[in-house]
Structure 1
């Protein structure tokens, strides 16, 4: 059995355990899967969550849209991994949350996962697709004027950062992005959780001394270095903007002018990818001048986020509050801290 297949089976079992742990969708939320069409055929299986208006209350017709990608090295996991945070974000921030699939390696070579992620975001940016589809008979409507956030964890966080970089590059007429579908609504913010943005081979020289966590945290019981190398081998195109925005040619100012204006980033102190997030924020501050960014370092944590499997760290109060704080800041909103936190 291949390593990827073993990882898929392990994560599928953990996701199933997580879905059982969080239980049935509560009545104040809607939850379903849709198949989003992709150019050239094929579909992307996407989980959608939305808040429901209380009986007798006004319709929820101005909900922001949040696209939240799962992790798994572009090869494993599924939207079910994000069921818990998707429900929590939908409930606490009155947002519609879409969690697409991001798991095509190695069957579909890189950058297929990023291309599919872009196309899903482009489809979702046309609000009529949700409002006239899965939400047609609901009292809930997406309004991207209230916010259109793209985010994710691990590989999903990487995808969000890459999509934001490509947004500007596509408007600069770079030929390698000419085939991508246009966005109807602009992305207003990014949630970049525990991302992978550099490798030891492609990192710009100016940031090389900042990359310490690969050795420090793999030696201290963090993610296995060989697993990291295997992911890099599968991606292969680590020197291109499809893998990291740090590979963009920013000499043309048009390359960054359409980049989303707010970026929330978090990393974990014991994670092998800790410094990827720190370096990414440095790159943003130096090359995307109009961006306002926030970086949170989760002390004492490894490569973890708010996900469905019932690991204690993934359902800790501080992990949930950090996620909600980040999403709320991106939306220019707040959440009711007097309410019990969702599971």
Structure 2
């Protein structure tokens, strides 16, 4: 095991444990459980450890029909767990009456890239079949997933990048069959209605087309030795030219992007921090989406924030209204809902 990865995993696990202690048990209006989702195309019946959170059905036997949100945690595809995003997941389930699935995304370096992201696609495909949840953990709860009410794929940092990749591959539809990297992936069973890409890592100087390089300045403007070192370690474990790394790499595989990506989720919310080394990844991703017909994009760059997101660990900067409000605004827009801005924000 890479010692740097092990140190990172231990540090994040400790922070998660402290956050869970502060967060407390599942509140009475929600339910949650762990689920092992099967992964196809593996030789040892591997599964993905996923946390499912859902709002309890109202009393009286009336069924609650809920949107589905699949929300991936960060950690450089190497560290962290679904518990690191339990706080916002509980908030989504509470404020938007949605079922939230938080899969694991921490298999590097044991699994070489792009296996973790490809596995995330397969987990999303499994979750996209509403019967798997409705006839499984949600059976007899009075709560059901109904993707016609909304099906959002999102995440933070490497999880936000994974969501962006899933949205782009989904947008290819049948055209994905002609790209070698996507041969054999499982089709999604329901329409993805939105992508939530929080502080995503989607670009390197070596893979960017020249017309983006002039706005790719945040690596230098927000350089910091420790962050630069961690980013370098992550880049060494990835293939920055793969379409499993970034939607921008699809330009190398299709001749006419606007005509080829025909089924992209119609709404994409992106946010970055003004002081984040990955700030311009968000900006460039938004510009890339301008080529794709029928996609409405909202991008927010939060002043004074670095690589920051609403997560479970009790870091004070991660639990301010400044970071929670854009998160809730983005998810509300993707789900076509509103939320009461006067209430004390949960979790």
What's the TM-score once normalised by structure 1's chain length?
0.95
Q: Structure 1 residue 175: deviation in Å?
A: 3.0
Q: Structure 1 residue 200: deviation in Å?
A: 1.5
CA contact (8 A) 1:157 1:194 kept: yes
Counterpart position of 1:129: 132
Q: SS at 2:104's partner residue?
A: coil
Q: Structure 1 residue 111: deviation in Å?
A: 0.4
Counterpart position of 2:272: 267
Counterpart position of 1:19: 20
CA contact (8 A) 1:171 1:255 kept: no
Q: Structure 1 residue 247: deviation in Å?
A: 0.5
When structure 1 is superposed on structure 2, of 250-259 and 142-151 the one drifting more is 250-259
Counterpart position of 2:294: 290
Is structure 2 residue 230 aligned with structure 1 residue 227? yes
Counterpart position of 2:241: 239
The runs of 5 or more residues in structure 2 that have no matched partner are: none
How far apart, CA to CA, are the structure 1 residues paired with 2:112 and 2:173? 21
Q: SS at 2:308's partner residue?
A: coil
Q: SS at 1:163's partner residue?
A: helix
Aligned equivalent of 2:113, options 83, 99, 110: 110
Q: SS at 1:225's partner residue?
A: helix
When structure 1 is superposed on structure 2, of 17-26 and 48-57 the one drifting more is 48-57
Counterpart position of 2:339: 335
CA contact (8 A) 1:170 1:178 kept: no
Q: SS at 2:49's partner residue?
A: strand
Listed as ranges, the matches of 1:33-182 within 5 Å are: 33-39=34-40, 40=42, 41-56=45-60, 58-60=62-64, 62-172=65-175, 173=177, 174-182=179-187
How far apart, CA to CA, are the structure 1 residues paired with 2:164 and 2:30? 29
The runs of 5 or more residues in structure 1 that have no matched partner are: none
Is structure 2 residue 191 aligned with structure 1 residue 186? yes
Q: SS at 1:73's partner residue?
A: coil
CA RMSD, Structure 1 to Structure 2 (Å)? 1.4
- Structure 1's consecutive aligned runs of 4 or more residues displaced over 6 angstroms after TM superposition are none
How far apart, CA to CA, are the structure 1 residues paired with 2:80 and 2:10? 9
Q: Structure 1 residue 228: deviation in Å?
A: 0.8
How far apart, CA to CA, are the structure 2 residues paired with 1:295 and 1:327? 12
What's the TM-score once normalised by structure 2's chain length?
0.94
How far apart, CA to CA, are the structure 2 residues paired with 1:242 and 1:255? 17
Q: Structure 1 residue 333: deviation in Å?
A: 1.2
Counterpart position of 1:315: 319
Aligned equivalent of 1:303, options 301, 307, 312: 307
Q: SS at 2:344's partner residue?
A: coil
